[in-house]
């Protein structure tokens, strides 16, 4: 890690009033959560992820699609937040105004202590019914034995909405669906008004989410990127910190607030 770049980023972060942290699949992968297209193992490997993650697939075979998402949800439950997640919680807590915007559908930010992250692509833990009203739904986690069966490509009938009896669907954004309007509006507003946007573990190619760091840059914010590899966001970033979230973010937090605390 380049110490000069680290301290340059720390100076911008420590001086900022409004901070946005924008995260992608890379930070969850460090906790052992497979990326979307990699989460097809065992007999699930015979499926194309893009063909399971559509409204049409759910309509055609709801038991199959629900089974896959329950398999994914159970795997996330077994994962734990990593030092990158915990550092992000510290960043948004220490900033006078801090917001987390994530493309991830897991709950690792919440379990690391981040309050109310904006989920641009929905959440595995916010199912809703398929009716126009989209009632939120709750249901118990699967027992471990059922999770093992799901590893073999099992089907599970979706529960029914207690309000309208419609099928309950995963609360994620599927191919062909728009991002949640309220989440997108909040993310754009946060990016357009921040002083620093820290982008972590995202490829910068999935739109419209990938536009969020670019909005911040156009508005004059300092964009800091944490990623092991170059991405299409490189041209709009003021500082590129090469490394993983778990490696870089704790060091960035220490550098930013040791300086501002006068230690």
Nearest residue to 180 via CA among 107, 132, 127, 119: 119
Find out whether 127 is annotated in a ligand binding site: no
| Inter-CA distances, 260 with 18, 94, 199, Å | 16, 11, 22
**Residue 121 among the catalytic residues:** yes
Confirm whether residue 105 is marked as ligand binding: yes
| Residue 245 in marked binding region | yes
Any binding-site annotation on 225? no
Q: How far is the C-alpha of 174 from the C-alpha of 112, rounded, in Å? A: 26
Whether 106 has a binding-site annotation, put simply, is yes
Is 240 within any annotated ligand binding site?
A: no
Question: Does 103 belong to an annotated binding site?
Answer: yes
How far is the C-alpha of 255 from the C-alpha of 241, rounded, in Å? 13
Which of 248, 256, 208, 191 minimizes the C-alpha distance to 225?
248
Can you list the positions of beta strands (E) in the chain? 18-23, 97-102, 118-119, 122-129, 168-172, 196-200, 222-226, 239-241
- The structure tokens listed for 137 are 């739904």
Whether residue 129 is annotated as binding a ligand: the answer is yes
How many C-beta neighbours within 10 Å does residue 252 have? Answer: 28
Report whether 196 contacts 225 (CB < 8 A). Answer: no
101 is in an annotated binding site: no
40 phi and psi angles, rounded to 5 deg:
-135, 90
On whether 201 is known to bind a ligand per the annotation, the reply is yes
Catalytic option among 85, 109, 119, 121: 121
102 has binding-site annotation: no
Residues with catalytic function? 121
Binding residues for substrate, by number, are 69, 72
Binding residues for Zn(2+), by number, are 129, 161
Binding residues, by number, are 69, 72, 103-106, 129, 161, 201-203, 227-229, 245
Binding residues for NAD(+), by number, are 103-106, 201-203, 227-229, 245
């Amino acid at each position: 890690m380049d110490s000069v770049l680290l301290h340059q980023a720390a100076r911008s972060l420590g001086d900022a009033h409004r901070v946005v942290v924008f995260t992608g699949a890379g930070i969850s992968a460090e906790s052992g959560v497979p990326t979307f297209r990699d989460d097809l193992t065992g007999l699930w490997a015979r499926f194309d992820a893009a063909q399971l993650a559509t409204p049409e697939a759910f309509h055609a075979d709801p038991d199959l699609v629900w089974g896959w998402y329950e398999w994914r949800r159970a795997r996330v439950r077994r994962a734990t937040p990593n030092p990158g997640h915990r550092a992000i919680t510290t960043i948004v807590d220490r900033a006078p105004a801090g917001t987390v915007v994530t493309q991830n559908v897991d709950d690792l930010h919440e379990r690391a202590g981040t309050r109310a992250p904006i989920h641009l692509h929905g959440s595995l833990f916010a199912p809703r019914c398929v009716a126009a009203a989209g009632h939120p739904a709750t249901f118990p986690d699967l027992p471990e034995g059922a999770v093992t069966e799901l590893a073999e490509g099992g089907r599970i009938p979706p529960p029914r909405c207690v309000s309208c009896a419609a099928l309950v669907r995963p609360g994620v954004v599927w191919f062909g669906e728009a991002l949640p309007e309220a989440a997108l509006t909040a993310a754009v507003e946060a990016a357009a008004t921040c002083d620093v946007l820290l982008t972590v573990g995202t490829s910068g190619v999935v739109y419209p989410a990938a536009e969020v760091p670019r909005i911040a840059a156009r508005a004059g914010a300092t964009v800091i990127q944490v990623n092991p590899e170059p991405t299409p966001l490189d041209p709009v970033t003021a500082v590129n910190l090469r490394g993983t979230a778990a490696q870089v973010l704790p060091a960035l937090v220490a550098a930013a607030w040791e300086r501002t605390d006068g230690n």
